[in-house]
Structure formats: C-alpha cells, structure tokens
C-alpha cells in the first residue's frame, strides 16, 4: 500500500485523505461545530463542497452520484439533528444498497453537562451511530485524531466492498483541534473489489438447465449494473434467446428497457419453466416461480439468494464473472444452435406483439385541451436525448415508468429510477448524477409532488451551475396515492363519490418556485409545442452550462372520473 507522510491539523488530514482516495465532492449542509473541517475543505484545491439547503437533498445528491458508476460518495451532516434530517432519503440509500459514506460529528455529552449546544443532540443515552444503525451496513466513532486517515480509508473501502452499501463515520468534534499531527495518507487508491467466480459444477448445472428449458427467463436486479454486466446480460440474452425482466420493479438502473428481448408486461404471462435470477433482491410474491422446473439465484449477497420459493441452486458469486463463465460453457458445449434460434424467434414474436399492444393502449388515450399525455412526453424526451447521442434520465415519477423505453425500438439512454419509495429523492439525485457524468446530458424527470418535497435542489443546481434539464410531469396530484385510494379504498366514500381528498396539488406554480431559487423555466401545455420546448431546454443547458426547468402539464392524476374534494379552510 502506497502512503505518504502529511502534517496538518485533524481536519486537514481528513480532507487530504479524502482527496487522495479520489473523492471530488463532499455533499453537505454546513454546521458551526464543523467549522475547522469546512475551512480545510474550502482551502483544498482538488475537492469541492456541494452545498444543499436541506439534508434530505444532500443525501439524495450523494445517492444519485453513486448510481452512475457505483463509486462511493461522501456526505456530511450536522450532528444528531442533521443526521435525523437525512433519514427519509437514507431509507432510499439503504434500500438500493448504495455506497454512500455519511460523516457526522459527535459532541461530548458526559464530561461536564450532559446537555450540549442548542439542542442539536437527542439525549446523552443515544449517540449518532445509534441513529444511523438501521440504515447502514457499518458505523464507527472516531476519537483519536491520529487514526483519522485510516478511518476514512476504511469507511470508503467497506462502502464499496460487495455487497456495497452505506457506512457512517461519527467523529468526536473535540478531536478537530488546531494542533498539528502527523499522518500517513493512503495514496494507492481503493482496490477494485469484486466477489469471486462460481464453481465449475454450478456453471455446468445452470447451463444444463438453460439448455433443457423451453421457456427460460433472465430475472435480473441491480447486481447487474453494480458488477458492470449490462452489456454481458444483453449479449447473453440475444445469444441464447432468453427474455430479460427486471426483478425489482423500478428500483433499478438500466439501459435495457429499449431492448427487443426486454419483457415489460406481467411476469406470469411468460410461464417460465426455468428462472435464472441474477443480482436480484427479490421482494415480490414469494411463490412467483412455483410452476418453474428450475430456479437458480446468483449474486454477491445473501439478499440475492433468499425469498425464492423452490430455489434449486444458490450461487454466491460476481454476476459479471458468472455470465462470462456461463457464456463460455454454453458456447463450448455440444449444443444444437438451432434450438436457441427457434427459441429466440418465438420470443421476438411475443415481445413484438407485447410492445405493439402497449403502444396502442398508450396512444388510445384521448388528448385534452392544454394537457400533454404521458406517452407523448416520454416519447418526445427520449427522441430529443437520442438526438444528442443519448443521455441519462434520472427520474422520480411513477406515472411515466410504463411509458419510458416503450416507444423506441432501440436507444442509448440510461434510466436511473429513484433508489426507493421515500419521496423527494429525484431533485438531489439528478445533481449527483450530473456530477458523476459531466459529459452526458442529464434530465431530472421529477414529478410535481416530489419537487415540492425537495425544491431547494433548484438552488443547489443554480448555485453550483449544474447543467441539468429538470422536466416536471405535472399532474397536479399525488397520482400514485390517488390511484391507491381508489384501488385499496374500493367501496369507501372517496371511491363511491369520486371526490378525492388529500391528494390534489393545485394552485402551485413550480416555475415561480424555481425562479425564486435562480433557475429559469417555462410552462408547456400543448403537445404541438413540446418538442420545441424540449430541444430549447436541452440546448440551453448544454450551451450555457446552467439548469433549466420545463413544467409539462399532464392530465390531472386522479382516477378516471375523479374530482378534487372540497377541503377544510379555516376562513370558512
């Protein structure tokens, strides 16, 4: 391990070690107790502070950054109070198992008075690592300034070690003195850690099951992109005529939704006789594969191997390496290539029919005056990005998930959905995505409800001149909640009357909100003007290196025939 000696105060050591390990950005909301740290950060030329006005946005920025290349992101939250503010988005980070390093500072609550500061701490019986424990895979408290550099190295190493995940470092604030200390800074970088190879017997068994199957399915999850195996999965599916299906609904990053072998409809319609679940943390129906003759699960984590009824074989191995070995085995075996060709042609007919049916259903939605239909927005956005050679769509809008990737037969766009179901992720995530992929056009596709959770993200994008095009599919509603009020609340008052309460978000102008934070934007109400507005926004963002926002007015997101209910007002 390559090291070099460094002299400085503990805060300077901390920042120097972060920079030496390749960390370019610290996502943060500043606090008084961390004054020396932020002074050292400001003084360092190679690492930059990205300021968020709320810790939830700070957390989602860090999460979005990791979703591009699976590189660790580092964020700083202010004491217990700031850490508490992160938890809604830390739930998303935890669900997606993203390599985020959370740094907080811990006060001395025992040497004198047990009530410190202005009420920044919960109580002396609970430390910051207790608060973060349910959301991280490891946490430590650092007391000794001389151990600061190693603690930073260990935190980043553990975060990116498969199975990747968040970690928390609580640094005793009194260790951040002005005293000069000597430290060994690790300069060799972080190792490229991967899980091991599958055994020969595992590969032979899986290859035999896939060969003998008539209707196999590749059921894949985030282990595919985290192991860098997206291209290998596509090649494998094409070579052996196997449909590919997301195994975690929308908690996934993907470039696969355009692919002709991607199966977007109900899994059960495939009636699979062999299921190869690779990199999936299965959270759907436990008995989903009860009719399959063979069920195989592969991944780097025990979470990739559980919740499968009738699991025949569990393989703890790297997804990328497993696909490589499977391809080699199937290619070298004495297999009738015509079998795969027949299977592939049959599948292509099925997926083409499925795609045609979906597109017809989307286009059958009748146009409305001064409204843009969801499929028109999805189609226009994708075509505009493809015209630039492809880009990244960081999204938090569930109504468009079934439209995205569904209109174009091929494409280069990458789709990064929210990391989990805790709302408000999308505004900050798009900023993190752009910082991790500065050469690619980035669109933050964030629904109006999600925007209002975290609209301070507009300020961060403007303040740091992050060139993002925010597109708001504005249905003036918590659409998914309204739908569930109708479905899960069937037979109730709202469902019977058609008057829906607590879900309509009317009389809000997100363009005025954005402008208040320093981001210009425009409304789009007509489908005929959407393409021009989209191209204008993308060109402005790329040419002028600043954010811009399009507020696209969709049909109201209530169930069919639904109306806003009369709500309580104090003045009545």
Does residue 572 fall inside a structural domain? no
Does residue 369 fall inside a structural domain? yes
Helical H runs in 312-469? Answer: 319-332, 337-363, 374-386, 426-436, 448-453, 457-463
Residues 260 and 153 reside in one and the same domain = no
β-strand pairing of 3-8 with 181-186 = antiparallel
Residues 57 and 33 reside in one and the same domain = yes
Question: How far from chain centre, in Å, is Cα 248?
Answer: 12
pLDDT at 491 over 90: no
Q: Residue 289 belongs to what domain range?
A: 200-357
pLDDT at 284 over 80: no
What pLDDT, on a 0 to 100 scale, did the predictor assign at position 572? 76
Candidate ranges 199-208, 286-295, 345-354; pick with highest mean pLDDT? 199-208
**3-state SS, residue 297:** strand
Number of Cβ atoms within 10 Å of the Cβ of 295? 22
Nearest in space to 81 (alpha carbons), one of 109, 54, 113: 54
Report residue 490 as tokens. 């069937």
What pLDDT, on a 0 to 100 scale, did the predictor assign at position 565? 94
pLDDT at 336 over 70: no
Q: Does residue 408 contact residue 258 with C-beta atoms inside 8 Å?
A: yes
In this prediction, residue 398 has a pLDDT band, given cuts at 50, 70 and 90, of confident
Q: Does residue 93 contact residue 135 with C-beta atoms inside 8 Å?
A: yes
pLDDT tens digits for range 520-538: 999 999 999 999 999 999 9
Q: Considering the chain, what is the average pLDDT of its residues? A: 90
pLDDT tens digits for range 513-523: 999 999 999 99
Q: Which helix (H) or strand (E) holds 169?
A: strand 167-172
Report residue 228 as tokens. 């860098």
Mean pLDDT of 264-282: 86
Point out which residues pair with 306 in neighbouring strands: none
What pLDDT, on a 0 to 100 scale, did the predictor assign at position 251? 54
User: Of the ranges 14-18, 130-134, 413-417, which one carries the lowest mean pLDDT score?
Assistant: 413-417
Does residue 569 fall inside a structural domain? no
Instruction: Say which CATH number the domain at 539 has.
Output: 3.40.50.970
Residues 61 and 135 reside in one and the same domain = yes
pLDDT at 119 over 60: no
Residues 105 and 25 reside in one and the same domain = yes
**What is the Cα gyration radius of the chain?**
25
Look at 478 and 247; give whichever has higher pLDDT: 478
What pLDDT, on a 0 to 100 scale, did the predictor assign at position 122? 64
Spatial distance between the Cα atoms of 418 and 424, rounded to a whole number of angstroms:
9
Instruction: Say which CATH number the domain at 271 has.
Output: 3.40.50.1220
Sheet bearing 392-396, strands edge to edge? 414-416, 392-396, 442-446, 469-474, 548-553, 521-524
Question: How far from chain centre, in Å, is Cα 14?
Answer: 28
Q: Helix, strand, coil: what percent of the chain each, to 5?
A: 40, 20, 40
Residues 559 and 422 reside in one and the same domain = yes
pTM across the whole model: 0.95
Residues 277 and 421 reside in one and the same domain = no
Cα–Cα–Cα angle for 545, 434, 166, nearest 5°? 150
Spatial distance between the Cα atoms of 165 and 93, rounded to a whole number of angstroms:
8
What pLDDT, on a 0 to 100 scale, did the predictor assign at position 342? 83
Does residue 330 fall inside a structural domain? yes
In this prediction, residue 335 has a pLDDT band, given cuts at 50, 70 and 90, of low
Q: How many domains does the chain have?
A: 3
Spatial distance between the Cα atoms of 278 and 222, rounded to a whole number of angstroms:
9
């Amino acid at each position: 391990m390559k090291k070099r000696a460094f002299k400085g105060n503990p805060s300077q050591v901390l920042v120097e070690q972060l920079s030496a390990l390749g960390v370019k950005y610290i996502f943060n909301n500043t606090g008084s107790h961390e004054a020396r740290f932020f002074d050292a950060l400001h003084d360092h030329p190679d690492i930059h502070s990205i300021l968020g006005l709320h810790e939830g946005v700070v957390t989602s920025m860090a999460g979005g950054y990791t979703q591009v290349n699976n590189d660790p992101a580092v964020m700083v939250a202010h004491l217990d109070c700031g850490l508490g503010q992160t938890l809604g988005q830390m739930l998303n980070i935890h669900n997606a198992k993203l390599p985020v390093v959370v740094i907080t500072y811990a006060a001395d609550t025992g040497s004198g008075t047990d009530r410190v500061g202005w009420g920044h701490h919960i109580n002396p019986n609970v430390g910051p690592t207790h608060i973060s424990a349910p959301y991280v895979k490891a946490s430590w408290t650092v007391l000794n300034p001389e151990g600061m550099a190693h603690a930073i190295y260990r935190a980043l190493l553990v975060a990116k070690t498969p199975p990747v995940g968040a970690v928390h470092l609580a640094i005793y604030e009194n260790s951040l003195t002005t005293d000069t200390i000597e430290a060994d800074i690790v300069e060799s970088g972080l190792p490229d850690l991967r899980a091991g190879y599958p055994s020969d017997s595992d590969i032979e068994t899986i290859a035999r099951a896939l060969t003998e199957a008539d209707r196999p399915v590749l059921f894949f999850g985030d282990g595919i992109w985290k192991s860098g195996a997206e291209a290998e999965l596509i090649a494998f599916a094409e070579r052996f005529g196997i449909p590919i299906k997301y195994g975690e609904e929308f908690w996934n990053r993907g470039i696969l939704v355009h692919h002709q072998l991607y199966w977007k409809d109900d899994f059960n319609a495939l009636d699979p006789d062999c299921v190869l679940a690779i990199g999936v943390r299965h959270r759907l129906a436990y008995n989903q594969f009860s009719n399959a003759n063979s069920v195989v699960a592969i991944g780097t984590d025990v979470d990739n191997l559980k919740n499968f009824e009738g699991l025949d074989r569990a393989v703890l191995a790297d997804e990328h390496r497993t696909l490589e070995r499977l391809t080699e085995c199937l290619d070298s075996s004495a297999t009738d290539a015509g079998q795969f060709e027949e299977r592939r042609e049959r599948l292509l007919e099925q997926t083409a029919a499925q795609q045609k049916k979906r597109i017809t259903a989307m286009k059958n939605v009748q146009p409305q005056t001064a409204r843009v239909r969801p499929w028109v927005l999805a189609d226009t956005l994708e075509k505009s990005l493809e015209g630039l050679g492809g880009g990244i769509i960081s999204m938090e809008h569930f109504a468009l998930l079934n439209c995205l990737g569904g209109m174009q037969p091929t494409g280069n766009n990458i789709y990064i959905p929210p990391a989990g179901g805790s709302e408000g992720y999308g505004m900050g995530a798009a900023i993190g995505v752009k910082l991790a992929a500065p050469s690619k056009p980035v669109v933050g596709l964030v629904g109006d409800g999600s925007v209002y959770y975290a609209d301070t993200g507009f300020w961060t994008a403007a303040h740091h001149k992050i060139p993002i095009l925010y597109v708001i599919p504005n249905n003036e509603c918590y659409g998914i909640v309204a739908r569930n009020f109708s479905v899960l609340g069937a037979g109730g008052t709202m469902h019977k009357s058609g008057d829906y309460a607590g879900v309509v978000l009317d009389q809000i102008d997100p363009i005025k909100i954005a402008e208040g934070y320093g981001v210009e934007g425009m409304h789009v109400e007509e489908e005929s003007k959407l393409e021009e507005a989209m191209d204008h926004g993308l060109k402005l963002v790329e040419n002028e290196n600043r954010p811009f926002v399009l507020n696209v007015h969709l049909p109201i997101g209530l169930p069919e025939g639904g109306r806003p209910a009369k709500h309580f007002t104090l003045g009545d």
